[in-house]
């Protein structure tokens, strides 16, 4: 008798609208990057679903915005507690959905989700408004801040729940309601979080999650006349479309976009610490962090020594199955993205660049069930012109280019020589030099002798084509509220 194969079962997600899970007629395949196989069906939402979510958010706004900051903080803290109680489940799911290692999700992504809710639950208590006396007019003037209304939030696939909650937490803490759209490639943890909303005391309609693509669901959301505010993290090209769609409605926009971040390493740097940190800043999360180092400029007198030691350290940065705790990197997000990243390495080679390690040089030893996954080893390139696309365009993968410089002025010029301006790192023991260079670099964030140390009170965002606006602490408070001046004649 012929055996019949058992039908494969998939995880099927549903939109979360008005406090209820709502099924969708159409779905998108979502892949497990570590195996290259479909494992999840994500709603392919459109106008109908977005309209329903916006209507639910509008209905919930009067009651939620009327609650005191303390009452809203209690809900955020409860949600933080619930996510933390399920941290391991969230970490496993984030790894499976995005391709990152379980260890990275467990120690970076999900703890930051918890911290986002806890931080913004109380940050509201520490901001003050302005007051001005005009005694000669017999007037007293002061400012108040009011929630904007329905906030449209769109987050990317690289740090899925981490960046989604970076937007949701301040939006609802300040009294707004939310319609959020995660990336269709990494939707599972957002859906899991929706299961905790009712238990956390989030009223129906305060947080609505719509799953689907940017051109279909996202486009309707950003062009909706009843959504006065959009916070977006993603590509510069998509941000241009969002700006165009939002312009007729004069919406408030916060756009956190790409980066082509330089590391500038002077001869007096602590080389051991520098190499250890720069390997991490170049390759963490498969290089799929907007803050990752993409270009390394090294003072010529130590360039050769640095390159040898850096390549040796990069070769020790292990890539493989995400569940293996000995691996530093897992799989890239998709087959298409892997091919794009590989194309930059091929371009570098065709232009005479030297591929020191990684793609095309070092082979990965993967189990049979993972050989169709989207893996790429840490790749180091030298000998590339500053005008090359490899040095100019965001690659967003485990690829970094290394080049020498001779003077401080040249280092700053090279660092600023791209259209992006998100982040930079500077390595030197000279305090005056690091202050001087940090001031001259065109970047929204500059780390010196460290990387990715974040104080959530401080502004986050980029210059040039790396974005518009800032979020974090007071900046988020200002973005998610409208200021009003009140004058009282007495």
Q: pLDDT, tens digit, for every residue of 167-196?
A: 999 999 999 999 999 999 999 999 999 999
Q: Given pLDDT bands bounded at 50, 70 and 90, which one contains residue 6?
A: low
Q: Tell me what the pLDDT averaged over the chain comes to.
A: 97
Q: Does domain 11-258+466-489 have CATH number 3.40.605.10?
A: yes
Across the range 155-167, mean pLDDT stands at: 98
Maximal C-alpha separation, the chain = 100
Catalytic residues: 256
Phi first, then psi, for residue 225 (nearest 5°) are -65, -20
Residue found under tokens 């965001």:
394
Q: What is the pLDDT of residues 366-394, one digit of tens each?
A: 999 999 999 999 999 999 999 999 999 99
Residue 352, classified by CB atoms within 10 Å of its CB into exposed (0-12), middle (13-18) or buried (19+), is: exposed
CA atoms within 13 A of residue 401's CA, in its CB half-sphere: 30
- Paired strand residues for 381: 355, 401
Q: Is the pLDDT of residue 210 over 90?
A: yes
Please tell me the CATH code under which domain 261-448 is placed: 3.40.309.10
Q: What is the pLDDT of residues 92-133, one digit of tens each?
A: 999 999 999 999 999 999 999 999 999 999 998 999 999 999
Q: Are 342 and 390 in contact (CB under 8 A)?
A: no
Q: Looking at the chain, which residues constitute the CATH 3.40.605.10 domain(s)?
A: 11-258+466-489
Q: Is the pLDDT of residue 464 over 80?
A: yes
Report the percent of the chain where pLDDT is more than 90: 98
Q: Looking at the chain, which residues constitute the CATH 3.40.309.10 domain(s)?
A: 261-448
Distance CA 359, CA 342 (A): 7
Task: Tokens for 397, please give them.
Answer: 């993968």
Strand ranges (E), 72-168: 131-134, 139-147, 150-154
Q: Given pLDDT bands bounded at 50, 70 and 90, which one contains residue 8?
A: confident
Phi first, then psi, for residue 73 (nearest 5°) are -65, -35
Q: What is the pLDDT of residues 305-325, one digit of tens each?
A: 999 999 999 999 999 999 999
Q: Is 436 helix (H, G, I), strand (E, B) or coil?
A: helix
Q: Is the pLDDT of residue 1 over 60?
A: no
Distance CA 452, CA 131 (A): 37
Residue 102 has what DSSP assignment?
H
Query: What is the distance between the terminal CA atoms of the chain, rounded to a whole angstrom?
Result: 95
Q: What is the pLDDT of residues 321-351, one digit of tens each?
A: 999 999 999 999 999 999 999 999 999 999 9
Q: Is the pLDDT of residue 248 over 90?
A: yes
Across the range 436-456, mean pLDDT stands at: 98
Across the range 357-369, mean pLDDT stands at: 96
Q: Are 426 and 448 in contact (CB under 8 A)?
A: yes
Q: Is the pLDDT of residue 4 over 90?
A: no
CA atoms within 13 A of residue 89's CA, in its CB half-sphere: 13
Please give the order of strands across the beta sheet that includes 445-448: 354-357, 379-382, 399-405, 293-299, 261-265, 423-427, 445-448
Residue 303: which H helix or E strand, with range?
helix 300-315
Q: Is the pLDDT of residue 89 over 70?
A: yes
Q: Rounded to 5 degrees, what angle do the CA atoms 453, 478, 201 make?
A: 85
Please give the order of strands across the beta sheet that includes 150-154: 20-22, 15-17, 207-209, 177-181, 150-154, 229-233, 252-256, 467-468
Q: Are 265 and 307 in contact (CB under 8 A)?
A: no
Across the range 273-295, mean pLDDT stands at: 98
Q: Are 366 and 321 in contact (CB under 8 A)?
A: yes
């Amino acid at each position: 008798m012929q055996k019949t194969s058992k039908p494969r079962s998939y995880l099927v997600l549903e939109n979360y609208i008005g406090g209820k899970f709502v099924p969708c007629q159409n779905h998108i395949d979502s892949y497990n990057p570590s195996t290259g196989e479909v494992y999840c069906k994500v709603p392919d939402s459109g106008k109908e679903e977005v309209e329903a979510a916006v209507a639910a958010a509008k209905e919930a706004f009067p009651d939620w915005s009327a609650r005191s900051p303390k009452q809203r903080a209690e809900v955020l803290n409860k949600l933080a507690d619930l996510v933390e109680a399920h941290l391991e489940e969230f970490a496993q799911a984030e790894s499976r959905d995005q391709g990152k290692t379980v260890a990275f999700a467990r120690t970076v992504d999900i703890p930051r989700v918890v911290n986002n809710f806890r931080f913004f639950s109380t940050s509201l208590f520490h901001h003050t408004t302005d007051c001005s006396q005009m005694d000669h007019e017999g007037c007293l003037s002061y400012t108040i801040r009011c929630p904007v209304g329905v906030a449209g939030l769109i987050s990317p696939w690289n740090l899925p729940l981490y960046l989604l909650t970076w937007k949701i937490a301040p939006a609802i803490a300040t009294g707004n309601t939310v319609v959020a759209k995660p990336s269709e490639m990494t939707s599972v943890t957002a859906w899991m979080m929706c299961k905790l909303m009712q238990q956390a005391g989030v009223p129906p309609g305060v947080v609505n999650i719509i799953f689907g693509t940017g051109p279909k669901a996202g486009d309707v959301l950003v062009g909706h006349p009843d959504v006065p505010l959009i916070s977006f993290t993603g590509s510069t090209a998509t941000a241009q479309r969002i700006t165009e769609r939002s312009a007729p409605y004069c919406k408030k926009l916060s756009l956190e976009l790409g980066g082509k971040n330089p590391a500038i390493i002077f001869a007096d740097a602590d080389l051991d610490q520098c190499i250890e940190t720069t390997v991490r800043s170049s390759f963490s999360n498969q290089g799929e962090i907007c803050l990752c180092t993409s270009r390394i400029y090294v003072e010529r007198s130590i360039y050769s020594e640095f390159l040898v030691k850096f390549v040796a350290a990069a070769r020790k940065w292990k890539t493989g199955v995400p569940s293996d705790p000995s691996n530093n990197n897992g799989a890239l997000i998709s087959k298409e993205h892997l091919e794009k990243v590989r194309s930059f390495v091929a371009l570098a080679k065709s232009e005479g660049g030297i591929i020191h390690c990684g793609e095309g040089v070092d082979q990965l030893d993967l189990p049979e069930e993972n050989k169709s996954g989207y893996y790429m080893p840490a790749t180091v390139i030298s000998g590339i012109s500053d005008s090359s696309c490899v040095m100019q365009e965001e690659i967003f993968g485990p690829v970094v280019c290394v080049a020498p410089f001779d003077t401080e002025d040249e280092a700053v010029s090279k660092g600023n020589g791209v259209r992006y301006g998100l982040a930079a790192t500077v390595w030197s023991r000279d305090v005056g030099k690091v202050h001087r260079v940090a001031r001259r670099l065109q970047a929204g964030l500059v780390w010196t002798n460290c990387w990715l140390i974040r104080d959530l009170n401080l502004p986050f965002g980029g210059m040039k084509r790396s974005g518009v606006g800032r979020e974090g602490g007071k900046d988020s408070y200002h973005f998610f509220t409208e200021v009003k001046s009140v004058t009282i004649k007495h």
